[in-house]
Amino acid sequence: MSQYQTATILGLGVTGFSVVRYLHGLGFDVTVMDTRPAPLLASELKRDFQDVRLVLGGFDTNALIESSLIIISPGISLATPEVREAKRAGAHIVGDIELFLEANSQPVIAITGSNGKSTVTSLVGEMCEAGGLKALVAGNIGLPVLDAITDNVDYQVAVLELSSFQLETTNTVSADAAAILNVSADHLDRYDSMGDYLLAKARIFRGTRQAVLPRHDAQLEQVTNASTKLSFALDEPANDSEFGVQRVSGTRWLHKGKQRLMKLRDVPLMGLHNIKNVLAAFALVDFLSLPVTSLVSAVESFHGLPHRMQTIANVNHITWVNDSKATNIGAASTALLNIESDIIWIAGGQGKGADFSELKEAITSQIKLLLVLGEDGAELHDALYGSLPIERVETMREAVFMASDYALNNSSRDTVVLLSPACASFDMYQNYEARGDDFSSLVSDWQMRGAV
C-alpha cells in the first residue's frame, strides 16, 4: 500500500475502526463513510482521530469516484451502486484481511466454510498453543486482524477465520494451509447463485500451498490448484494425505493414513460432524509438524464454543441443546442428522433467501415436533408441511414451554430439544448469541418452575 497516501473506509463498525487505527498510524489521510446517521463508534472516532473526515447517512459518490484506495467492511456488498461507480472509476478496493496479509510475516492458516469454521479456527489455535506456538486467532472471530499489527501482538502463526464477504475483497491469501470445510446454501440474499457463493469461498486457495478439503466432494476439489491437497472424512483413509476414521479391534480411531491419532470416544464434542471438524484441524496443522501428543491433548480439553451444539441442561430425560449459530440450512441439517435421540426442533427467523424445502433431506422419524417462529416462520412451515408435525409459536418462551410439555407428555424415551434455527436472528434478536442466551435463560426458568 506504499503507493497510496489517502484512503476511504466504508463502514464504521469494529472492522472499520481497526482499519482507521492502522492506516492513521501509517500516516494516511483517512476518510470514513457510513450509511447510518449515528454509528456506535462515531463519538470514539471523533475523540481519538479528530483529523479523520467522517461522512454519515450515506456514501458520497463523488468523493468515492475520486478515491484511489477504498477499504470496505465485510457487511457492505461490492454490488452497492456507489462502490460499483468507484470501481469503474479505477479505485483499488480491498478489505482489512488484504491489508493484514500484506503486513504479516508469520505462517498463515486460513479457514472458511458455511458451517463449523469458528469451531475449527478455535481448535486449531488451541492445537498450535499446545504445540508451543503463540497463535493469533482472528478474522471473522476474536480480534480484528489489523489490531494485531497496530498493537504489536506477539504471535508465531496466524489462524484466520474468513467469511465469504472477507474473501471477496482479498486478492491473494497465500496461506501455508487453507480449508473449505463445506459449502451449503447461505447468504443467498447477497449472492445471485450458489455458484457465486462458492467462487467467493474458493478465493481462500489463491496462493495457498496446502489445501484441506472434505473428501468425496468433487465440486470443491475442482476449485483449488494448491500444490498439496489433504482431505478429511469419516471413512478409512487410504494414504498419508487423507485423515479419517478407522475401526481397530472394535474401537474407532482418528487416523492420518495408517497413523493413529486418538480414539474417537475421547473427542468431547457432540455429533459426528464435529469429528470431521477435528480431522480438518489435524490436517490444517500438519505442515507445522507439532507433537501429536500435544495436539491430542488440545482436542481432549476442547469443549467447543457457545451456541454451537451446546448442551445447556439435561433433566427428566430431556437434553436441551443450544445451536443458535445454525443460521443456515446446512448447519441445521447437520445438527438434525447427527442426533440419535428423539428430537423436538425449534427453528425460524430470517431465512436470507434460502429454499427451506432443502431441509426435507434432514427430516427423519426421530423429529417428533417442529416449532417455528420468526419473520420467515410461515415460509418454513409451508415448505415442510406434511413432512413432520409442525406448530407455530410467537415467542421463544412459548417454544420452550411447548417443547417441554410435549417431551414430558408424549415421549417415553430420551428427547433432545434442539434450537437449530436454520435462519438469521435479526428479526427478533440483536444477533445469534442473544437468541441463544434467551433460549438458555428460558430453559433455566423452566427448570426453576419445578421441572426438576
Residues assigned a catalytic role: 117, 140, 187
User: Contact at 8 Å (CB) between 112 and 90?
Assistant: no
Beta bridge partner(s), residue 112: 180
User: Residues in the chain, how many?
Assistant: 452
Return the biggest CA–CA distance within the chain.
71
Beta bridge partner(s), residue 143: 138
Residues 150-164: b if buried by 16+ CB within 10 A, e if exposed: beeeebebbbbbbbb
What gap in Å lies between CA 431 and CA 66, rounded to an integer? 36
Q: At what angle do helices 272-284 and 292-300 cross, to 10 degrees?
A: 150
User: Contact at 8 Å (CB) between 253 and 260?
Assistant: yes
DSSP state of 193: S
What gap in Å lies between CA 449 and CA 148, rounded to an integer? 47
Helices within 9-105 (DSSP H only): 14-25, 42-48, 61-65, 81-88, 96-103
**Residue 423 corresponds to which amino acid?**
C
Q: To the nearest 5 percent, what fractions of the chain are helix, strand and coil?
A: 35, 25, 40
User: Contact at 8 Å (CB) between 82 and 61?
Assistant: yes
**Residue 108 corresponds to which amino acid?**
V
DSSP state of 204: G
H or E element, residue 2: none
SS3 106: coil
- Going through 251-347 in order, the beta strands assigned E by DSSP cover 251-256, 259-263, 310-315, 318-322, 342-347
- Sheet of 242-248: strand order equals 135-139, 157-161, 108-112, 177-180, 210-214, 228-232, 242-248, 251-256, 259-263
User: Contact at 8 Å (CB) between 66 and 85?
Assistant: no
Angle at 329 between CA 319 and CA 126, to 5 degrees: 65
